[in-house]
Amino acid sequence: MKIFIDSGNLKDIEALVPLGIIDGITTNPSLLAKEGGDYRQILKRICDLVQGPVSAEVVATEFEGMMREGRDLAKIDEHIVVKVPFTRDGVKACKKLSEEGIRVNVTLIFSPTQALLAAKVGATFVSPFVGRLDDVATSGMSLIHEIVEIFNNYEFTTEILVASTRGPMHIVEAARMGADICTCPAAVIDSLFNHPLTDVGLKKFIADWEKAQAALAGKA
Ligand code: E4P
């Protein structure tokens, strides 16, 4: 399963990319607004750093505007994937941009029918939001299960990009279900590394080794 960082923060990205576990980045207007500055420059720098798919979202809500913004975003770098919201105009723009060779991530997916329609119009990625569904007492991971099941029945090349992840169990469950990608805030990626027994075990290995070395040095 691929792991994307869900962030527009260069420091987060610079810290995680060298570990070798990051396959791409997702941003959205809220994340980029938080960073301030020139969003095109930020996106270009992110593309240079990650050398994988970098989702950048249109803010237009009607077809022509989405097409204009999508084509413009795609010019920033070859790694840009244009994100469009799942609306009728978004679906239409996804089809047209995909036909033009621009990869599209259809975002704000909250139902299996939305994922199916996005796949039918050639989306490269669909982004179901699990955390936001959990927030309204609906199982986000059940949606992933349904989309995986549906996509497995057909020949879609669309990848399932699990978004709005809030903790390590979302990632564990997504991987068990065979979702293609999880996009995670940096803090969630950090949490994937942690296990107290690793820390305790390492401390003991080092202590035992140092004790043995000290004993050998004492004998010399
Ligand atoms: C990424 O593509 C989504 O925009 C993001 O995961 C949404 O996350 P949130 O629900 O935590 O804002």
- Just list the catalytic residues: 83
Residue with CA nearest ligand 1 atom 10: 164
The answer to whether 70 and 103 are in contact (CB under 8 A) is no
To which H or E segment does residue 188 belong?
A: helix 186-193
Q: One-letter amino acid identity for 77?
A: D
User: Using a 6 Å cutoff on CB, does residue 164 contact ligand 1?
Assistant: yes
To which H or E segment does residue 106 belong?
A: strand 104-109
Question: In this structure, what token pair is assigned to residue 1?
Answer: 């399963």
pLDDT tens for each residue of the chain, 220 residues long: 999 999 999 999 999 999 999 999 999 999 999 999 999 999 999 999 999 999 999 999 999 999 999 999 999 999 999 999 999 999 999 999 999 999 999 999 999 999 999 999 999 999 999 999 999 999 999 999 999 999 999 999 999 999 999 999 999 999 999 999 999 999 999 999 999 999 999 999 999 999 999 999 987 6
Question: In this structure, what token pair is assigned to residue 153?
Answer: 């029945």
**SS3 label, residue 107:** strand
Residue with CA nearest ligand 1 atom 1: 163
β-pair partners for 129: 163
The answer to whether 180 and 156 are in contact (CB under 8 A) is no
Ligand 1 midpoint to CA 137 (Å): 17
pLDDT at 155: 95
Residue with CA nearest ligand 1 atom 5: 164
| CATH domain 2-194 topology | TIM Barrel (3.20.20)
The CA distances from residue 15 to 75, 95, 167, in Å, are: 26, 36, 19
Ligand 1 midpoint to CA 156 (Å): 24
Between vectors from CA 158 to CA 13 and to CA 32, what angle results, nearest 5°? 30
User: Using a 6 Å cutoff on CB, does residue 40 contact ligand 1?
Assistant: no
Ligand 1 midpoint to CA 2 (Å): 16
- The structural domains of the chain, with segments of one domain joined by +, span 2-194
d(CA 16, CA 42) in angstroms, rounded, equals 16
d(CA 143, CA 157) in angstroms, rounded, equals 19
pLDDT at 100: 98
Ligand 1 midpoint to CA 37 (Å): 20
